[in-house]
Amino acid sequence: MKMKHVIMFLLVLLAVPSVSKAQDLQLNDREYFERQGVNVLVFSNSFNGGFNDEKNSGIEIIHHGVRTVQGGAVRLNNTPEQWDLVPRMTDRKVDRENGSIEVAMRYDDYDFDSRVIVTAKGKAVEISVYLDKPVPEKLAGEAGLNIEFLPSQYWLKTFTMDGRLGRLPRYATSHTVTRPNSEKPRQFKGFKTYDDRGTNRFIDPLPIETGHSLSMATDDPSRLVTIKSDAELKLFDGRMLAQNGWFVVRSILPKGKTGKVITWTVEPNAVPGWIREPNIGFSQIGYTPEQPKVAVIELDKLDTPQTTAKLMRINPDGSTTQAFEGAITSWGPYFKYNYVKFDFSSVKTPGVYFIQYGKTKTNDFLIDAHVYDKITDATTDVWVPIHMNHMYVTEGYRTWHGEPFKEGYLQAPESDHFDLHRQGASTDTKYKPLELIPGLNIGGFFDAGDFDIETGSNINVVQNFIRTWELFRPQRDETFVSQKQRYVDLHRPDGVPDILQFIEHGTLNLVAQAEQIGHMASTLSNSVLDNYHHLGDAASITDGLHYDPSLKPYEVSADGKRSGTPDDMWAFTTRNPNLDLQAAGIFTSAARVLRGYNDELADRAQTQADRLRKEAEQLLSSRNSRFPRDAQAEADDDWLTGTGDGTTQISRRSRFHRDNRRPRSLWENLDRDVARNLQTALDSIPMKDDAYKQKLRPFVQKYNDYIKSFDTQNPYGVPIGLGNWAGVNAVLNFGITVNYAHIYFPDIVSKDEVYRVANWLYGCHPYHNYSFVAVVGATRPKQVFYGNNRADFSAIPGNVAPGLLFRKPDHFENYDDWPFLWGQNEGTIAGNTQYIIFGSALKNIVNPNLTK
């Protein structure tokens, strides 16, 4: 045996006893219960994200490879919403001897503690709730043991409750009651997710069924889960309150009792001998003839790898022939799966192909010199114009949205905010709290799946468009934009390059902020939570009428211009000179770009740039300044204004030395961390002489080693993030730097490296092989994204998903039938415009004549 084979053989030997010997659930080394086809996780992920209930936490079941059950915990609502209170995990104990995991959780708002113990019992787990003190009076009848089932994996399937038959509905149509607001457990920070229209009552869903023995998905062995309890089980449909709700099973905790108060026996069915289908990762865009072509195949750890795979060609007459057969090579284990590779780089004949690995065939894809030609078109022609705020946006017969926020923006009062913003005690403006700040309802881009203008993101957007314009001058004109009519029409050329119009649109809002407020707002955002989670036409988020507190809620003034409904958006205006400095940089470069196209706006931008820069410098340098200096803001300002020089420029993420607050030089930063700082150095090359470029060479060499280091870190050769928001921004950053390193130093960073990130984005990644970009040219893009049309299980073309969300301890996930997890499916305006730079650079490398 060759060494590699010996290792493979040993791995198989090691893997077998721990999983397949016993068909009972076992507590494994990664601290979850496992049998073939079933993983039961107990607070491997706890409720501690930035947005309360992210449907990612508590007791979870990964059932035949799909995380279909989560949210198992003591909860205070029949069907918890995102902003309902979540318990804080105060302790977690793993008891290997008894095969159990104990979790202590606490609701600080109600001084309420409980413990949940999950114990393996044969093929089932027993879930028990223990109380040392009875349920607090206020929560009696409200606190219960809940667990949630993923609607898209359970709808249309059959269930039984105590033998009675039912079918889980595709759409929410069960029953609700209303109850007095005084009975509702408080929501996150006291916000309200609902507008009760003056009734003073909230909606409470009624159960679809109740009983003591529930089987979910009796018609699908891979989803069948049975729950039995002496306590009453209630089955609810969480979508009655919120489109992102799940099916909920719940037992109310008894009043006045302590000790073991509820026990459930939960048995997820396992399909005998189940082995996950191989996930063949490849680029759904396809490949150019000369580029490397390596499929990464993700295998169940119990699967035996094939020795070869085939590349099949689909001929123009519809017949299929074998184009290539090649060896499968082992990469090895990465988290829970095993990885092998199939290299078919030698196939260079243009055509339509698919991969055949054992019995698994992929969908078809192209090998052709032009596969990258259109990769940014959906993003620039469709996604970006649809996200233009304060405009009516139309496409053919369809109106994407009317003109939003016609009543403008009010000065935010001192407040905490549900989207992680804050308005300090001082407004730092001449406006009184809730006074109208004129002129802000112009220009700007919706943030992401929500509709606010995050100033920092909008600065990034304009910066990304300016970089794209100055580097590639794309003349593409597919969008009609009339600022006078406040009207955007897709696929209607108007004689002006669209990128220029996007720069203008972003600048219009940012300059208005500087002029009207005097400095940059942190955000222009919703004032009430009940219109923040809006899904639908952006123009209907607010009533378009000025808020007048002298009127009663829902009352409209006689002249039809004012209403008593407090729905107007707010401007958060606490001053941040670092943000002002960033804006000043943008204004200088926007003025440069807009000169000759919109001179009036160019002048206004330059005026604000000069004023903001001067005032920001004063604020930052004054001895008793309450503002810490932000090196990134200065670096961006340097780059954008073209004033950076290689000796004083500061890297994007570096910080000042603590001791003397002296900025580190670029070279010091490159010495410390070339991966983080090379992009800044590359951006300056056009302004520098040859000596600068020569001095950079050894750092580019080091960066090339860094690129190659990913080949041993994971099977996919790109940086893979493990955070609570999947890592597409880091991957795009990496891709942009690789592209630029290749453009300026092709003898060091070879052209082969620029395809790494493209492969990852377009389908060569864990979990599934769909393209993360809803892009032109891909055979199988993702179908659902967390865009503002997510309630329709749809996508806005050109969106870029964050991608693979990591769930501890070993699970990567990207749902493509459930759009509502923002950490894996929400494209953002900053990320999508970053993608335009990445894509423009890649197109330009592959086909230099393309973008002009």
Q: Site residues (CB under 5 A) for Ca ion?
A: 407, 419, 447, 450, 452, 477, 479, 494, 496, 498, 542-543, 545, 567-568
CB nearer Ca ion, residue 126 or residue 419 = 419
Among residues 83, 66, 208, which one has the least CA distance to residue 150? 66
CB nearer Ca ion, residue 443 or residue 646 = 443
Copy the structure tokens of residue 332.
Answer: 């090895």
Taking the complex as a whole, how short is the minimal distance between the CB of residue 524 and Ca ion, in angstroms? 10
Report CA-CA distances (Å) from 393 to 385, 454, 479, 486: 7, 20, 10, 9
Taking the complex as a whole, how short is the minimal distance between the CB of residue 820 and Ca ion, in angstroms? 16
Taking the complex as a whole, how short is the minimal distance between the CB of residue 454 and Ca ion, in angstroms? 5
Q: Are 58 and 73 in contact (CB under 8 A)?
A: yes
Taking the complex as a whole, how short is the minimal distance between the CB of residue 405 and Ca ion, in angstroms? 9
Taking the complex as a whole, how short is the minimal distance between the CB of residue 630 and Ca ion, in angstroms? 21
Hey, how many other C-beta atoms are within 10 angstroms of the C-beta on 144?
24
| Half-sphere exposure for 485 (CA within 13 Å, toward CB) | 9
CB nearer Ca ion, residue 405 or residue 734 = 405
Task: Name residues whose C-beta falls within 8 Å of residue 10's C-beta, 6 or more positions apart in sequence.
Answer: none
Task: Work out the angle at residue 17's Cα, subtended by the Cα atoms of residues 14 and 18, and round it to the nearest 5 degrees.
Answer: 90
Taking the complex as a whole, how short is the minimal distance between the CB of residue 9 and Ca ion, in angstroms? 52
Taking the complex as a whole, how short is the minimal distance between the CB of residue 547 and Ca ion, in angstroms? 5
CB nearer Ca ion, residue 152 or residue 479 = 479
Strand partners, 490: 479
Taking the complex as a whole, how short is the minimal distance between the CB of residue 452 and Ca ion, in angstroms? 4
CA–CA separation, 474 and 841 (whole Å) = 11
CB nearer Ca ion, residue 523 or residue 759 = 523
CB nearer Ca ion, residue 477 or residue 615 = 477
Q: Are 251 and 235 in contact (CB under 8 A)?
A: no
CA–CA separation, 292 and 185 (whole Å) = 57
Indicate the helix (H) or strand (E) that contains 490.
strand 487-490
CA–CA separation, 490 and 385 (whole Å) = 7
Taking the complex as a whole, how short is the minimal distance between the CB of residue 483 and Ca ion, in angstroms? 12
Q: Are 419 and 532 in contact (CB under 8 A)?
A: yes
CB nearer Ca ion, residue 373 or residue 494 = 494
Tell me 379's DSSP state: I
Q: Phi/psi zone of residue 111: left (φ > 0), alpha (ψ -120 to 50 degrees), beta?
A: left
Copy the structure tokens of residue 846.
Answer: 């592959």
Taking the complex as a whole, how short is the minimal distance between the CB of residue 161 and Ca ion, in angstroms? 40
HEC per residue, 47-102: CCCCCCCCCCCCEEEEECCEEEEEEEEEECCCCCCCCECCCEEEEEEEECCCCEEE
